Amino acid sequence: MDYEKLVTVMRTLALEAGDKIMEIYNSDDFEVKTKSDESPVTAADEAADALISDGLRAAFPDVLLVTEEQSASHGQTAPTFLIVDPLDGTKEFINRRGDFTVNIALVEDGTPVRGVVYAPARDRMFYTLADGSTVEELGPFGAEPGEVKPIRVADSDNDALMVVASKSHRDQATDDYIGKYAVKDMTSAGSSLKFCLVATGEADLYPRLGRTMEWDTAAGHAVLLGAGGQVVRFDDLTPLTYGKADYANPFFIAYAPGVALKEG
């Protein structure tokens, strides 16, 4: 894989998809449909998916593409594949809360090795460079990358941890697990932004005790790995892997390595 080309293509497609999403987000109204799994989908999901899929297939025709909005792609697996959630946080989008992202990632041998997470309503963009390290581009975003800032996970203080949790999927089991730690403060965020807050050091720990799919997490996982973080399964604390037969994730914990992890 030509990582230089990949990073350029992923960044460009994320920005173009973000523009398309914001056009619809800022319109007076948009239709919300329901998919077969009862999850919502909008014209923004579909438009962003078409744009990203066309761009990736043109640039990397020999690499398997798995995308949330194309169910035919969910039955295929390969050691190396691209995986896309064109609009992660559809509920945040529908409720005009802003915490939605464009997620594009490359998985190699079970690990997300490169990725981009773009939050167009928040003007925040995070991505891995060709060498695997992670940056936040500071914007304004143009055809060529602007100023970028290398990001790194926090040097965590286990007596005063910052925890980030889901806005839409918080439950008692999550609160009980968080209660095992000495928490200084908590914040909530939607979509894959939670991974990015750990990657930048704005949070130390993100536990997810709920259903997610690989396209929800791969890009954020790649961003976090490139910033020195880790993502492990909740049940046995082994690394979270990708390319599973149904693309469904177990519960997981994303964290800075300085955090003394507790068992569930």
Residue 216 assigned to a binding site: yes
In 98-221, beta strands by DSSP E: 101-108, 111-119, 124-128, 134-137, 148-150, 161-166, 183-189, 205-208, 212-213
Residue 90 assigned to a binding site: yes
Residue 88 assigned to a binding site: yes
Q: Residue 205: phi, psi to the nearest 5?
A: -145, 135
Residue 225 assigned to a binding site: no
Q: Is 18 helix (H, G, I), strand (E, B) or coil?
A: helix
Instruction: Describe the crossing of helices 43-59 and 3-25 by its angle, rounded to 10 degrees.
Output: 160
Helices (H), the chain: 3-25, 43-59, 90-94, 172-178, 193-199, 214-226
Residue 123 assigned to a binding site: no
Burial 79-111 (b: 16+ CB within 10 A, else e): eebbbbbbbbbbbbbbeeebbbbbbbbbbeeeb
CA–CA gap between residue 25 and residue 135 (Å, rounded): 27
Residue 87 assigned to a binding site: yes
Residues placed in the known binding site for Mg(2+): 68, 85, 87-88, 216
Residues placed in the known binding site for substrate: 68, 87-90, 216
Residues placed in the known binding site: 68, 85, 87-90, 216
